[in-house]
């Protein structure tokens, strides 16, 4: 297919540009439908005049339907998108870029979605869609899926769809509260995933801040103890990565902690752990849940993080422990590679 595209480019040099533009329009519609033309034009940085022509073409091809509520994909449009995904990865160079990032970060597999989530909010939904598909591919019957918190994982949860594979799966929070908004805490995200997937879930009800004595006492409670055993048995662990300073401020870290993070040049945060650029742990929040040093070889770890602003954080975390799968976007990938 790639060879055919290269030959076509000699006869029609803009063929790839046109394909990418139309493919991106269909991608956006899949994630955000129904949507109006003005919203679509603004989200994709395309003038309404140019978009009008593209929309007319896609409608004539029976790939989209235009109704009173906005534009939506038709069944043919959905099928075309699915059929083109692998081809577009190849012809746009994403497949090669995935290999480069995987080699640079020593990750088994990298999945790169088009766009930069720092710039376009819809790219986070594409990250979520890719993550859900990867989970479905990796799941085993009776599996336990441990899910961390954060804004990216909240977007992942919203992209979950029902699947028979999830009927025997139990979703659990990877950790207790970390002083964040309820909607981006592990409990909320894991339960949202389970409800949308039509799976099962368990919640970890523990306070955000505990003294050492209270924490040691709480983990001995039969209910908490049993749930922690369940969490540590997770076959799949899904988490995000954040910039250290951003995460610390968002969680209301005290001044002395912020000072330590700055002095030790913390670059990344994951699971309540803070890392410097070399992947060394410089600080750890005292919460109850899955500990990074408890992860086993047979547990599959999926890291989801996008946006050029997270490139340093992604690299720092992977220096600590390369994941089995990294799902990211073009913006982050380019920054990781120094492009």
pLDDT category of residue 12 using cuts at 50, 70 and 90: low
End-to-end CA distance of the chain: 27
Is the pTM of the predicted complex or chain greater than 0.75? yes
d(CA 337, CA 118): 17
- Give per-residue pLDDT as tens, 240-299: 999 999 998 888 888 899 999 999 999 999 988 999 999 999 998 877 888 888 888 889
Tell me if residue 156 falls in helix, strand or coil: helix
Q: How far is CA 277 from CA 37, 191, 266, in A?
A: 43, 33, 7
184 & 253 share domain = yes
Which of 67, 90, 113 is a domain's end point? 90
Q: What is the pLDDT of residue 84?
A: 83
Q: Please report, for the domain that includes residue 98, its CATH number.
A: 3.40.50.1360
Q: What is the pLDDT of residue 267?
A: 95
Which of 90, 125, 145 is a domain's end point? 90
Helix axes 15-32, 75-91, angle to 10 degrees: 130
Q: Is 269 left (phi over 0), alpha (psi -120 to 50) or beta?
A: beta
**Domain that includes residue 57, residue range:** 1-90
- Give per-residue pLDDT as tens, 123-152: 999 999 999 999 999 999 899 999 998 899
Say yes or no to pLDDT of 3 above 70. Answer: no
Give yes or no for a contact between 115 and 329, defined as CB atoms under 8 angstroms apart.
Answer: yes
pLDDT category of residue 1 using cuts at 50, 70 and 90: low
Q: Please report, for the domain that includes residue 22, its CATH number.
A: 1.10.10.10
Q: What is the pLDDT of residue 168?
A: 93
Q: How far is CA 107 from CA 60, 87, 314, 333, in A?
A: 43, 23, 11, 13
pLDDT category of residue 178 using cuts at 50, 70 and 90: low
Q: Mean pLDDT highest for which of 175-184, 235-244, 279-288?
A: 235-244
d(CA 293, CA 237): 13
74 & 126 share domain = no
d(CA 297, CA 37): 48
Give yes or no for a contact between 91 and 102, defined as CB atoms under 8 angstroms apart.
Answer: no
Say yes or no to pLDDT of 200 above 90. Answer: yes
Q: What is the pLDDT of residue 98?
A: 95
Cβ neighbours around 7 below 10 Å, total: 10
Query: In whole angstroms, what separates CA 112 from the centre of its chain?
Result: 10
Token output for 78: 């959905």
DSSP states of 162-185: --GGGTT-EEEESB---S--GGGS
127 & 11 share domain = no
213 & 330 share domain = yes
Q: Mean pLDDT highest for which of 2-11, 36-45, 53-62?
A: 53-62
Q: What is the pLDDT of residue 307?
A: 95
Of 103, 105, 87, nearest to 95 (Cα)? 87
Q: What is the pLDDT of residue 274?
A: 95
Of 81, 96, 94, nearest to 133 (Cα)? 81
Q: How far is CA 217 from CA 203, 209, 290, 292, in A?
A: 19, 14, 17, 21
d(CA 280, CA 278): 6
Of 249, 288, 255, 289, nearest to 269 (Cα)? 249
Which of 62, 90, 118 is a domain's end point? 90
315 & 223 share domain = yes
Cβ neighbours around 31 below 10 Å, total: 17
Number of structural domains the chain divides into: 2
Q: Mean pLDDT throughout 23-30?
A: 89
Q: Mean pLDDT throughout 168-175?
A: 93
10 & 116 share domain = no
Q: In which residue are the tokens 């190849």 written?
A: 90
214 & 168 share domain = yes
Say yes or no to pLDDT of 31 above 80. Answer: yes
Give yes or no for a contact between 161 and 191, defined as CB atoms under 8 angstroms apart.
Answer: no
Say yes or no to pLDDT of 211 above 70. Answer: no
4 & 103 share domain = no
Q: What is the mean pLDDT of the chain?
A: 88
37 & 66 share domain = yes
161 & 203 share domain = yes
pLDDT category of residue 194 using cuts at 50, 70 and 90: very high
Q: What is the pLDDT of residue 317?
A: 96
97 & 157 share domain = yes
Q: Mean pLDDT highest for which of 37-51, 106-120, 201-215?
A: 106-120
Tell me if residue 226 falls in helix, strand or coil: helix
167 & 260 share domain = yes
């Amino acid at each position: 297919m790639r060879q055919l595209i290269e030959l076509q480019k000699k006869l029609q040099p803009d063929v790839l540009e046109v394909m990418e533009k139309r493919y991106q329009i269909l991608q956006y519609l899949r994630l955000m439908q129904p949507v109006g033309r003005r919203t679509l034009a603004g989200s994709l940085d395309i003038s309404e005049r140019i978009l009008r022509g593209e929309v007319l073409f896609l409608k004539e091809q029976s790939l989209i339907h235009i109704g009173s509520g906005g534009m939506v994909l038709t069944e043919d449009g959905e099928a075309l998108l699915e059929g083109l995904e692998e081809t577009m990865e190849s012809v746009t160079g994403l497949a090669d870029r995935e290999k480069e990032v995987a080699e640079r970060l020593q990750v088994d597999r990298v999945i790169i979605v088009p766009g930069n989530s720092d710039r376009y909010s819809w790219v986070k939904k594409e990250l979520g869609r890719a993550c859900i598909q990867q989970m479905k591919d990796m799941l085993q019957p009776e599996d336990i899926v441990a899910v961390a918190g954060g804004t990216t994982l909240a977007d992942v949860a919203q992209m979950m769809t029902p699947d028979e594979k999830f009927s025997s799966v139990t979703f659990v929070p990877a950790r207790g509260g970390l002083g964040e908004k309820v909607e981006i805490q592990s409990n909320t995200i894991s339960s949202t995933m389970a409800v949308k997937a039509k799976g099962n879930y368990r919640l970890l009800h523990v306070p955000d801040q505990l003294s050492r004595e209270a924490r040691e006492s709480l983990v001995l409670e039969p209910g908490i103890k049993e749930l922690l055993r369940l969490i540590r048995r997770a076959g799949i662990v899904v988490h995000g990565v954040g910039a250290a300073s951003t995460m610390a401020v968002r969680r209301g870290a005290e001044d002395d902690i912020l000072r330590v993070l700055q002095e030790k040049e913390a670059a990344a945060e994951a699971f309540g752990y803070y890392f410097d650029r070399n992947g060394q742990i410089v600080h750890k929040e005292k919460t109850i849940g899955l500990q990074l040093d408890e992860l086993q070889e047979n547990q599959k770890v999926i890291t989801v993080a996008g946006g050029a602003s997270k490139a340093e954080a992604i690299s720092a975390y992977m220096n600590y422990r390369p994941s089995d799968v990294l799902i990211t976007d073009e913006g982050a990938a380019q920054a990781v590679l120094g492009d």
